[in-house]
Structure 1
């Protein structure tokens, strides 16, 4: 049964007389306490915060003196007491509440400055199970929620970034806070506890291997408020979840202006793709445009990998995203700056390369600090009307699959290498996806078509255009291997691939007409391999 409000109007201005400060992150807390004290505010505090304020020479009262009860159980119990929560939750203009305060000698608390145990940091650092559990804050969220609920009278502050705003408000309002300010702080407080509990619940699901828990929440901290989203009429923000997976969210921006919504989306796609090629196996480069690869290659050097990736579709690469799997060096940087590029992301960047890229001040340069593990699980999420679609990351690796030759002719050793390369790339191409590859280089990429036949034709056409641009005698699709990220439902798609020059095909298999497709491959002397795993990407 819902609780009915007594409809007591909230006052606009509330004088701050007593403040409770209990923070794990001590950043700026002394300066804030000094500002509060200058307005004659009585300071209450707990544990480490009390010691910090006392050491700074501030007149501060330990919460234990208010509750009449010491901290117990290693500090697990210190603020869970009517002396604290009554002071936070009491409605000052309700006669019954005032009587209860007087009867039980509960003093009003007008402002609560609280931040929480560093659960996120402990989790990210790989803390063991008992340590991580011990860093689940109980009293902090309880006080935050209590103060936020009673924002008609109580100001709650959970973020050190808001301390200057609070100090300014107190100065402007002569030691008072306005209702609108209290409302805004309360909204932020509930968002903070929601994000905190999200981290905890997701950690439990991860630790206990519960892939799809009954209740699922997603949370993050605003890292960047963007000028606009995918289009100028859309607003957007970039939120960090605390996941330490190397990539665009963890990367340091070495130069260039802030990344846009589309930049971040495309850079993530590019870096996840290039991570399919571990740095220890040799240099690799992926060039992305509109979240789809327009060229991917390996090489004997990073510069060679870049030039080979660019050769696949140099027209589409204009204004694209370049992802590298090794430290960006000077030679590769010299090549890259010849083309207009939006973003470069690499695990690291040499000082010489930084100096070269600096010649293009608008070119965004990111150092991610490492490559993401393509085999790790993790979660991806997508919103739909009224819900969330959540799934584990597509961590299927062609190296781990039991490939099955289904044609009369088995692929040659080189064809098999190119098949695997093409299938890796196809995993990162929007469905329907067709990828031709030859000698560790994409020859043509067809993405996102409603018909797989069209994807195959577009990829072949791209290869012909690339051959003309590069002055080659024939397109690279001649003698190539080709990958389809999902099964070929009819032989027509295969025939389009053969027409483009492919001699070997890798696909998941599993169509009702597999035998028809296999027969067509045999008729044309084409080798075909089934993976048993598809890579839809929508």
Structure 2
């Protein structure tokens, strides 16, 4: 035989002639086409049950496995391929004299190609089938042949998916009925991954039925795409994988996403999807480094906001308004952001994104004109992801840090107005405040903890992320609220920029004007943005303008341990507060809110995000 003549004991040969194939599949897609191709190369076809029936119906000559082994199928099909003639035919080492003599003496024949699917165990479980039915759909013979074939891939090709059939047919056509070592190794790796995923699904289900956590967990991932690098350029090995049995929650329509881009995208999409569900309004988010720089829902813009945000002549559709608001919470931080929109992106929203410095967007769909605009942005490098709205995330989440595996239930709590019913202060929460507290709370849910968020008119106006001290988080976000509000100041609006000054340079120059701590070395470059040297915005003018701010909502991802956070929040117009509650200082915090005339609700839900 051709493949035996090429073999030396223990050595892998590149091409192996397929003389005999065993096919036993539950998924009949592509089966007849593959079998017909094999027959054209003179391959003998072995098969069982429904697979043999399907091939015979197509006019193909098939030998039953029971005829090949001389042993009938029995026990309702539980025993049919578990036979030495099957596994000997697969497992023997070609060129090994002892193995070849055993094959000859026992009347065994070589099996060079195995094509199989495993019983659809997960599909059976998903149907809500009973315990005994699920047990009956645990495949035994299939995984045994799969592992035997994969182990002996030096000589045997193992196919476990109809998606592999075209490659096998093309390779055999190009190599006179042979397969190559590269393909056999690739398919063997896929076979072991399938075996691991299959056993993991069974183990998880079985332990779940017993009401206990699985003592050992194996999770199998399929590589979907490579990435240029991870968080940093020195972390060169990087990629994106889907969990076995699941698709990715998005498809890539344009650009080449990076590691951090996709972390931003997956978190941002969850945020806007939840905001839309909670408020019924189109929602948007602007993400940077796995925390939102801003988030908002589509509340109409006032004339003052239109001027402060430099909206220009863009058509103000709901999705465009949502993103304009999200981007203008902190436009300096949003430089190079990853955007997320809860609704189909229209042309107006695409035009807003076109003029901003941004890396990409994730949304559930795109109007043709919008997609054309976005795919041209950054010379085609702008990342366009289409989210799958019906994607259901696993109930549990795993992560690995420094070789340690961590597991938790996914934080699937859906925050809404019902979480704001426990008002602990003398004042109540009006409808608009409830909407803003929902926006701020959902934003905090997807912000690195400790976190707080300030919102007004359906828009985040200050996000504080990742501070070890809660009051520092409150102060950080409050500084952003001050800058946001002072961007509306007549002096800021009256700044005269030189023609040709870039949009982001105008944003940065305004922020530095508001902050007012420009160094002597910095000043010449800063002043070069303007037609004339701007008159300073004094501390007194800032304080007077900030005193006009009110109706701001503040949400915290956990309780306030001291009243100091409330005291500081009072300086930036906070009128409404939401927090988890549960601190020993709750009564002091409630008293502080009453002193300032703030309304505060206890949500009873901590929203840490790490």
TM range (shorter): 0.7 to 0.9
Partner Cα separation in structure 1 for residue 175 and residue 447 of structure 2: 57
SS at match of 1:489: coil
Task: Judge conservation of contact 1:434–1:482 (CA < 8 Å) in 2.
Answer: yes
Q: Does 1:363 align with 2:382?
A: yes
1:518 to partner: Cα distance: 3.4
Partner SS, residue 285 of structure 1: strand
1:138-193: CA deviation from partner (whole Å, max 9, x where unpaired): 32222101122333543333355555665676678766666676445433321221
- Cα distance change on mapping 1:27 and 1:224 into 2, 3 Å: farther
Which residue does 1:325 correspond to in 2?
342
**Equivalent residue for 2:410?**
393
| Matching residue of 1:263 | 261
- Measured at CA, do residues 73 and 302 of structure 1 come closer, stay the same or move farther in structure 2, by a change above 3 Å? farther
Question: Does the residue aligned with 1:224 lie in a helix, a strand or coil?
Answer: strand
Q: CA RMSD in A?
A: 3.6
* 2: CA distance, partners of 1:528 / 1:153: 71
**Partners of 1:509 and 1:532 within 8 A in 2:** yes
Deviates more, 1:73-82 or 1:191-200: 73-82
Cα displacement string for residues 96-151 of structure 1 (whole angstroms, at most 9, x for unaligned residues): 6556544543323233233334556677xx53425876654432222101122333
Which residue of 1 is the match for residue 455 of structure 2?
437
> Separation in 2 of the partners of 1:367 and 1:173?
40
Contact 1:272-1:372 within 8 A present in 2 as well: no
- Give the Cα–Cα distance (whole angstroms) in 1 for the partners of residues 373 and 609 of structure 2: 36
* Other-structure match for 1:502: 574
Q: Match of 1:316, SS?
A: coil
1:418 to 436, 441, 447: 436
Counterparts of residues 278-293 of structure 1 (less than 5 Å): 278=276, 281-293=280-292
Deviation per CA, 1:354-401, whole angstroms, max 9, x where unpaired?
34434434333333342667xx87111111334321111112233354
The Cα shift of 1:430 comes to 0.5
Q: Which shifted more, 509-518 or 96-105?
A: 96-105
Give the equivalent residue in structure 2 for 1:335. 352
Counterpart of 2:297 in structure 1 is: 298
**Aligned positions of 1:459-538 closer than 5 A:** 459-469=477-487, 471=489, 474=546, 478-538=550-610
The offset of 1:40, in angstroms, is 4.8
Alignment of 1:61-460 (within 5 A): 61-71=63-73, 77-91=79-93, 97-98=99-100, 100-119=102-121, 126-129=126-129, 136-160=138-162, 162=164, 182-203=184-205, 208=209, 210=211, 212-232=213-233, 233-241=235-243, 249-253=248-252, 255-278=253-276, 281-300=280-299, 301-360=318-377, 361-370=380-389, 378-399=395-416, 401=419, 403-460=421-478
Compare 63-72 and 312-321 and name the one that shifted more.
63-72
Task: Report the equivalent of 1:3.
Answer: none
Q: How many residues align?
A: 522
TM-superposed deviation, 1:446: 0.7
- Deviating more after overlay: 464-473 vs 302-311: 464-473
Measure the CA separation in 2 of the matches of 1:534 and 1:244.
29
Q: Deviations over 1:406-453 (max 9, x none)?
A: 344444454344323321221111001010012321111011122222
- Is this contact kept in 1: 2:249–2:391, CA < 8 A? no
Q: Is the 8 A contact 1:426 1:535 kept in 2?
A: yes
- Aligned residue in 1 for 2:505: none
CA distance in 1 between partners of 2:372 and 2:17 (Å): 55
1:533 to partner: Cα distance: 1.8
Structure 2: unaligned runs, 5 residues or longer? 1-7, 300-317, 491-544
Q: Deviations over 1:32-53 (max 9, x none)?
A: 5566556554332334544555
- Give TM-score scaled by structure 2 length: 0.74
1:371–1:128 Cα change, 3 Å? closer
Whether the aligned pair in 1 keeps the contact of 2:555 and 2:577 (CA below 8 Å) is yes
Q: Give me the whole-angstrom Cα distance separating, in 2, the residues matched to 1:476 and 1:98.
A: 92
> Quick check: 1:297–1:305 contact (8 Å CA) kept in 2?
yes
Equivalence for 2:520: none
- Residue 443 of structure 1 aligns to a residue in which SS? strand
Q: Which has the larger radius of gyration?
A: 2
Deviation at residue 478 of structure 1 after TM alignment: 3.8
Deviates more, 1:473-482 or 1:263-272: 473-482
Secondary structure of 1:263's counterpart equals: helix
Contact 1:422–1:442 (8 Å) recurs in 2: yes
Does the Cα contact within 8 Å between 1:377 and 1:394 map onto a contact in 2?
A: no
Contact 1:19 1:111 in 2 (8 A): yes
- Residue 183 to residue 344, structure 1, CA distance change in 2 (3 Å): closer
- CA distance 1:532–1:97, change in 2 (3 Å): same
Distance 2:196 2:36 in 1: 30
CA distance in 1, matches of 2:212, 2:321: 41
Closer, same or farther in 2 for the Cα pair 1:470/1:371, shift >3 Å? farther
Q: TM-score, normalised by structure 1?
A: 0.83
Q: Kindly tell me: are residues 414 and 105 of structure 1, through their superposed partners in 2, closer, same or farther at Cα, counting changes over 3 Å?
A: same
